[in-house]
Each structure stands twice: as C-alpha cells, then as structure tokens.
Amino acid sequence: MNTYDKGPAFVVSIPPKWENVTAEALMRDIWQAPKKTVHQLRMDKAIILDGQPLNWTTPLKKGDKLHFSLTEKEYGVIPAEMPLHILYEDAHMMIVNKPAGMNTHPNNPSLEKDTLANAVAWHLQQKGEKVDVQHIHRLDKDTTGAVVFAKHALVKGILDRLLAERKIKRTYWAIVHGLITNKKGTITKAIGRDRHHNTRRRVSPSGQPATTHFQLLEQNKPKNLSLVQLVLDTGRTHQIRVHMSSIGHPLAGDTLYGGKPIVSRQALHAKYIEFDHPLTEERLAFEAPFLDEPPLFSAFFKKEGE
C-alpha cells in the first residue's frame, strides 16, 4: 500500500488476494469498517479509481489504486510543542511512547495543553496534516509505554473493533512488591468502582469481568521485588494495579493500591504492542523503550556485572 506524505489522503493498491473483490465487500467483509463511516465515504464520493468516482459494486483488479481524499478536520485538541517519542507512523495512524506524568488526552480539550494528544497534534500540524487526533486506548497518567492514535475515521473504526475483539495485543511490565512464587498465573476477578473513593477501583462481584495473565521474569530478593510481564484479556480501568494488589503484590510506587513509594510513580510500562494493520493486514509489532530518567526498571533489575 502506498500513502501520501500529507493527509488526510492516501492510496490503497489492491494486492492479488483482493482481486475480484468489490469495494463494497472490501469495506464490509475484509476491513469490517463501521457502516456510518462507509456511508459517509459514499456520500462524499471520497474514493477515486482511475480518475473517476468509485463504482462500489465493480470487482477490483490487482494493482488498482483507490485514492482516498478525506475531509480535513480540526485537531480536537490544542497543538502544543513537547518531546514526542514515535514508534511508528503512516498516513493512517501513529504509535507513540508515552512518558510518565502525562495524561493520554485532555479532559477539557479547549483548555488543557499538556497531554500526549496535544503533542501528537503539534507533530501533525508541523507536517501539514490536519486531522482529528483520536486515541484508540489510554494509559494512566503515571503509566508509560505504547499508545495508538488514529488519523482518520475509517481506521479509527477498524482499530476500535480490533481492540474490542482483543486483537490488539498489549504486553506490560511491572515491578511489584514481594517475591512471586508462581512462574505464571491468571487473575480473574471482576472490577468495579470504590464507593468510598472517587478514583479508586476495587475487586467487586458486581463489577465488570476482568482477566489478567502474569508471568514472572525476574526477582530482586534483597529488595523483595518481582519483575512481571502481564497480558490483559480485558481493559478495565486500573486493572493491573487492582489485580496485582488483590493477590498481595501491589505495584511499587502505587500508593493508591497499597504500594510503597520507593519509586516516583507506579512501576508499570506498556512495553510491547502487536496487531494487524487495519488496512493492509500486515503484522505490526513494536517495543516501547523505557523513558524514565533516572532509570526505573533497569535500576531494580540489573544483570550481574552491570
């Protein structure tokens, strides 16, 4: 697939596997794009083939180039210049590495200027891309790591579906108190709001189902700490923090859930992200490097000789 450098415009080149598929079937069956978005593309005549408006029911040929021309949109947030660590970018989306102490997006977009979304908007503005900045998922303010942003509604709708279907695999690393004895384990406990605390969540039988898989990576016996890798089947607010605390291993630095303030923040990092590209179906896999200065994770788990 080819893409323009500046959006919101891009080209999709039809590969052999999609030959004889109609644009209608491509949208409905292969991309499974939202009906509302597809309808808007039709109404706007936003897709051109060989210089002519697309016939949605004519079978496509290998090498056909679908030219998408999408309406420019306001960023939705105030562009603000800040350091931005980009793991991946194309005409459709960005994957960025969020630092600690920064919200994913503003609660009040007309006033706040210090979130990851503001930094993404600034980056796009400098490139001349005028698109609505849309996050696909969020990380807590003090959690670091990979976050996905969509650049247009078609990809946003497909990525939202992939997330709901658990096809965007996110893998976290955390430092927790105590020496975990099981090499692997699964925590399946429903999570609900804490009626006595506005921001806290808690294990609650009447809450939303939640499942967390953990794997022990390393132990620091002198400091009574364990390094664990975690994969979520669900994406509940504070899920890792609540689940690890519930089994007696709260995150280091996470004072809200019983962790001790031995580090400046909760020791949680979204280290890996993996999924199929929403349009090309190419497998994407990225590792988000640690950004903490001074180092947080490596300081607690140095190899011998370091």
The question of whether 233 is a catalytic residue gets the answer no
Burial category of 112 from C-beta neighbours within 10 Å (exposed 0-12, middle 13-18, buried 19 and up): middle
Asked whether the beta carbons of 105 and 115 are under 8 A apart, the reply is yes
| Measured distance CA(124)–CA(92) in Å, rounded | 12
| Measured distance CA(285)–CA(281) in Å, rounded | 12
Phi/psi-derived region of residue 221, left when phi > 0, alpha when psi is between -120 and 50, beta in every other case: alpha
Closest to 277 measured CA to CA, from 117, 28, 89, 22:
89
| Other beta carbons within 10 Å of 189 | 18
With the CA atoms of 299, 271, 265 and 206 taken in that order, what torsion angle do they form, in degrees rounded to the nearest 10? -140
Single out the catalytic residue among 50, 114, 132, 140.
Answer: 140
| Measured distance CA(235)–CA(134) in Å, rounded | 18
Write out the catalytic residue numbers: 140
